[in-house]
Amino acid sequence: MGKPNTTLVVHSSRVFLLLVFLNVSISEASPTAESVYTSFLQCLTNHSNPSDQISNILFSQTNTSFSSILQAYIRNARLNKTSTPKPLLIITPLQQSHVQSTVLCAKTIQIQLKIRSGGHDFEGISYVSYHQPFIILDMFNFKNITVDIQNEVAVVQSGVILGEVYYRIWEKSKVHGFPAGVCATVGVGGHLSGGGYGNMMRKFGLSIDNVVDAEIVDVNGRILDRKSMGEDLFWAIRGGGGASFGVIISYSIKLVQVPEVVTVFRAANTVDQNGTEIVLQWQQVAPQTDDRLFMRLLIRPVSSNVVKGEITVRVTVVTLFLGGADELVTLLAKEFPSLGLKKENCSEMTWIDSVLWWANFGNDSKPDVLLDRNIDSASFLKRKSDYVENPISKDGLESIWKVIKLGKIGLVFNPYGGKMSAVSSNATAFPHRAGNLFKIEYSVNWDEPGIYIENNFTNQTRILYSYMTPFVSNSPRRAFLNYRDLDIGTNDFGNNSYEQGVVYGMKYFNNNFERLVSIKTEVDPENFFRNEQSIPVHPVLDSGASTSSAEKLLFSSLYRKLIINLVIVLFLILELFI
Ligand SMILES: Cc1cc2nc3c(=O)[nH]c(=O)nc-3n(C[C@H](O)[C@H](O)[C@H](O)COP(=O)(O)OP(=O)(O)OC[C@H]3O[C@@H](n4cnc5c(N)ncnc54)[C@H](O)[C@@H]3O)c2cc1C
Ligand SMILES: *[C@@H]1O[C@H](CO)[C@@H](O)[C@H](O)[C@H]1NC(C)=O
Ligand SMILES: *[C@@H]1O[C@H](CO)[C@@H](O)[C@H](O)[C@H]1NC(C)=O
Ligand SMILES: *[C@@H]1O[C@H](CO)[C@@H](O)[C@H](O)[C@H]1NC(C)=O
Ligand SMILES: *[C@@H]1O[C@H](CO)[C@@H](O)[C@H](O)[C@H]1NC(C)=O
Ligand SMILES: *[C@@H]1O[C@H](CO)[C@@H](O)[C@H](O)[C@H]1NC(C)=O
Ligand SMILES: *[C@@H]1O[C@H](CO)[C@@H](O)[C@H](O)[C@H]1NC(C)=O
Ligand SMILES: *[C@@H]1O[C@H](CO)[C@@H](O)[C@H](O)[C@H]1NC(C)=O
Ligand SMILES: *[C@@H]1O[C@H](CO)[C@@H](O)[C@H](O)[C@H]1NC(C)=O
Ligand SMILES: *[C@@H]1O[C@H](CO)[C@@H](O)[C@H](O)[C@H]1NC(C)=O
Ligand SMILES: *[C@@H]1O[C@H](CO)[C@@H](O)[C@H](O)[C@H]1NC(C)=O
Ligand SMILES: *[C@@H]1O[C@H](CO)[C@@H](O)[C@H](O)[C@H]1NC(C)=O
């Protein structure tokens, strides 16, 4: 190539200029962190008293505390990467009025609002958004809890963690508890709105079966309780997820009575011992037995200690019995003989110690470990879920073991029955009740960063999930909302929002989906409260006469881009003549 001629240089610099201008015009169409911070602060100030010191609850991207605030409630290392989309702003309200004005201002500024409580969402959708710029409303300061033993109720704010719920109840009574999840740092906001299950579910049902009232900030910035929100919305925020409907401020929960002594045990076998026999019998017993008995089954690939270098499958029965060891051993000798449980395998303890035992705190931990929010759990996680309605045959199990041995994915079988079957499937938005023997959680945690490793593990979960198809529920294949899994469908809030919503919505909510859509359409017709798997609004209103503000926004930004580009083109044409 010879010496470049000057015209070409001029031209290429013009093309460069054009590209720069185009870029500027494109980025102008979407809000910058700075502009959002400025207008948000202005709007919040407008909506509050000077004594509120509103600027103290806003963290801009340039604030030195921004990363630590963001990371404090990230519980999945997979969503803690530099490449993970970041919020333009984090708001950390200290009182209800802050939540109210945040909702109003996010609406005015037309920015997507993500709501976070405990941050345990398995796909991080409380603090990540893939399609739109967003800000986070972080509820961690809403950690008040008042326990009233006399009336056996408690009021629990959404930023409370489950460990705090258990601890504050135990502080006041040794014979009361609450049925909710096992992991102490899970947040009330996401856990209860999505259902909430734990090792007392067969006796007392889900957390939502024990919720008696709630406070929520709606899309108009009003604070509503059960009475003022009405039974429809109250129904929806028990299992339908809070994030489609508003910001949950608190739930009022009914406490349950637990015995002074409960019993736990953990019994491990491999499939080359009696493991397959145990799983076969477990499927008959665990969903039908005494309501006070919850036997979780963990199924994992492990190195064989019989044949060196071989992989086998270990099945572990992890149990809580709301009663004494003698009664449990007698019961299981009769119902579950293949387990061969002896009294020496059991530990009797108080209910609060069983909470610590289930959460894998060390033997001499004191209950106050339940108050610790600063866990450093940096594992990478992926989860999926399924429901099983018919027992899996011996051949079926043996074929599943073969697939499990090839990878690193574990299965957790959680038995249903008891109270879970007694509550009708439309009593709350959570639909998976009678007819389900157990729920499967697909579970893998890993600690090495890297996109190849990540794809390898997530691919493995999909392969196993696909293999399980003939053994699990179908049409629709069901899933548990709190085991968030974006593989089963997502929403981009476009013209097909409703159709997209049907795909994951039927799996999570089955026959309750349409009622959720109606309630959503009623309380939030413009779909302000949205996320990758939120409840869509009804399609008729979606494409109807009134243009939604999102469409207006899209239109005005396209229009702006068009004008800017026209000006640039004119400018370039003019320049050619000079
Ligand atoms: C280690 C671990 C153990 C778990 N164990 C269990 C278990 O034993 N049983 C069980 O049922 N589940 C369990 N889960 C799942 C857990 O219940 C869900 O992830 C739940 O949604 C977490 O609630 P959160 O407030 O911590 O999550 P977040 O990530 O803060 O929120 C989850 C969802 O709820 C929305 N949300 C949060 N707060 C509010 C609010 N105040 N108002 C409106 N919407 C809100 C978010 O926008 C998001 O969509 C576990 C998860 C993890 C990571
Ligand atoms: C705040 O209030 C002022 C005066 O009422 C108004 O001009 C301005 O537009 C408001 N700003 C926002 C972001 O709401
Ligand atoms: C960060 O934000 C907080 C809350 O708004 C504020 O108090 C603090 O001064 C800010 N710090 C910096 C360095 O900007
Ligand atoms: C997120 O990353 C930071 C460092 O960038 C680290 O300190 C923190 O422990 C990580 N958290 C999780 C859950 O991975
Ligand atoms: C928590 O309770 C205290 C004492 O009643 C109150 O001052 C505070 O505002 C409450 N916090 C929230 C977030 O409601
Ligand atoms: C019970 O304990 C004995 C002795 O430690 C052990 O050999 C046996 O495997 C245990 N049984 C179960 C079901 O865990
Ligand atoms: C295995 O299960 C069979 C059938 O239930 C039972 O008879 C046997 O005792 C069990 N064996 C062991 C080693 O637990
Ligand atoms: C914890 O207690 C169990 C029995 O309850 C016992 O088998 C185990 O060895 C103890 N572990 C430690 C670390 O003390
Ligand atoms: C649940 O469904 C039954 C019939 O299947 C109906 O009678 C009842 O009204 C429904 N309950 C609610 C809360 O929708
Ligand atoms: C995961 O699956 C995708 C799609 O099937 C494939 O392209 C990719 O190579 C796989 N990656 C790994 C690491 O297995
Ligand atoms: C994951 O990596 C392992 C080796 O580490 C390999 O054997 C396996 O085939 C990979 N799985 C997938 C789904 O790519
Ligand atoms: C949505 O539908 C409208 C009207 O049918 C159409 O003009 C528009 O291009 C569609 N938008 C998208 C993102 O598909």
CATH of 145-257, one of 3.30.1640.10, 3.30.465.10, 3.30.70.1560, 2.60.15.10: 3.30.465.10
pLDDT at 393 over 70: yes
Query: What top-level class would CATH report for the domain 262-347+379-471?
Result: alpha beta
E-assigned strands of 322-433?
347-349, 380-388, 410-415
Quote the pTM value.
Answer: 0.90
Report in angstroms the alpha-carbon separations of 90 from 37, 40, 76, 77, 103: 9, 11, 19, 19, 13
Rounded CA-CA distance 355/351 in Å is 6
Atom of ligand 12 nearest to the CA of 554: 13
Among the listed residues 268, 297, 266, 267, the one whose alpha carbon sits nearest the alpha carbon of residue 282? 297
d(CA 294, CA 322): 9
pLDDT value, residue 563: 64
Q: Which of 18-22, 258-262, 335-339, 561-565 has the lowest mean pLDDT?
A: 18-22
Question: Quick one: average pLDDT of 288-301?
Answer: 98
Q: Is the dihedral of CA 172, 175, 179, 180 positive or negative?
A: positive
Which secondary structure element, helix H or strand E, spans residue 42, and what is its range? helix 33-46
| Per-residue model confidence (pLDDT) at position 50 | 81
Answer whether residue 559 shows pLDDT above 80: no
Q: Is 166 a catalytic residue?
A: no
- Residue 249 in this model has a pLDDT that exceeds 50: yes
Pocket test residue of 425, 426, 518 for ligand 9, highest count of atoms within 8 A of CB:
426
Q: Higher confidence at residue 465 or residue 308?
A: 465
Which residues are near ligand 9 (CB < 6 Å)? 424, 426
Nearest to 205 by CA among 216, 213, 215, 197: 197
Which residue in the list 483, 498, 504, 508 is annotated as catalytic? 483
What is the average pLDDT score of the chain?
91
Residues 90 and 457: their CA atoms lie apart, in Å, by 31
> 446 C-alpha vs ligand 6 centroid, how far in Å?
30
Are 369 and 361 in contact by the 8 Å Cβ rule? The answer is yes
Cα-flanking dihedrals φ and ψ of residue 112, to 5°?
A: -70, 135
pLDDT tens across 396-413, in order? 999 999 999 999 999 999
* DSSP per-residue string spanning 309-329: T-EEEEEEEEEEESS-HHHHH
Residue 25, pLDDT > 80, answer: no
pLDDT at position 53: 81
Of all protein residues, the one whose alpha carbon is nearest to atom 9 of ligand 12 is: 495
Q: Is residue 577 predicted with pLDDT exceeding 70?
A: no
* Per-residue burial over 147-169, b = 16 or more CB atoms within 10 Å of its CB, e = otherwise: beeeeebbbbbbbbbbbbbbbbb
33-138: CATH class: alpha beta
| 167 token code pair | 């601890």
| pLDDT value of position 566 | 72
Q: Ligand 11 in contact with 455 (CB < 6 A)?
A: no
Split at pLDDT 50, 70, 90, the class of 491 is very high
Report the percentage of the chain scoring pLDDT > 70: 88
Is the pLDDT confidence value at 201 over 90?
Answer: yes
**Which of 274, 276, 334 has the most ligand 7 atoms within 8 A of CB, as the residue to mutate?**
274
Q: Kindly list the protein residues whose Cβ atom lies closer than 6 A to any atom of ligand 12.
A: 494-495
Q: How confident is the model at residue 564 (pLDDT cuts 50, 70, 90)?
A: low
pLDDT at 106: 98
Q: Per-domain residue ranges for the chain?
A: 6-29+549-577, 33-138, 145-257, 262-347+379-471
Q: Is residue 230 in contact with ligand 6, taking CB distance under 6 Å?
A: no
Question: Which residues contact residue 24 at a Cβ distance below 8 angstroms, ignoring those fewer than 6 apart?
Answer: 564
Tell me whether the omega of the peptide bond preceding residue 476 falls within 30 degrees of 0, making it cis: yes
Report whether pLDDT(1) > 90.
no
* Nearest ligand by distance to the CA of 58: 3
Q: Which of 35, 40, 42, 58 to mutate to test the pocket of ligand 2 (most atoms within 8 A of CB)?
A: 42
Q: Which ligand is nearest to the CA of 101?
A: 2
**DSSP string of 217-284, one letter each residue:** E-TTS-EE-HHHHHHHHHHHTTTS-STTT-EEEEEEEE-EE--S-EEEEEEEEETTTTHHHHHHHHHH
For residues 508-525, average pLDDT: 98
Phi then psi dihedrals of residue 136, to 5 deg? -110, 130
Q: What is the percent of the chain where pLDDT is above 90?
A: 84
Model pLDDT, residue 578: 58
- Which residue minimizes the CA distance to atom 1 of ligand 8? 363
- Say how many Å lie between the first and final Cα of the chain, rounded: 29
pLDDT in tens, 79-125: 999 999 999 999 999 999 999 999 999 999 999 999 999 999 999 99
pLDDT category at 451 given cuts 50, 70, 90 is very high
- Ligand 9 centre to CA of 425 (Å) is 9
Helix or strand (DSSP H, E) at 146? strand 145-148
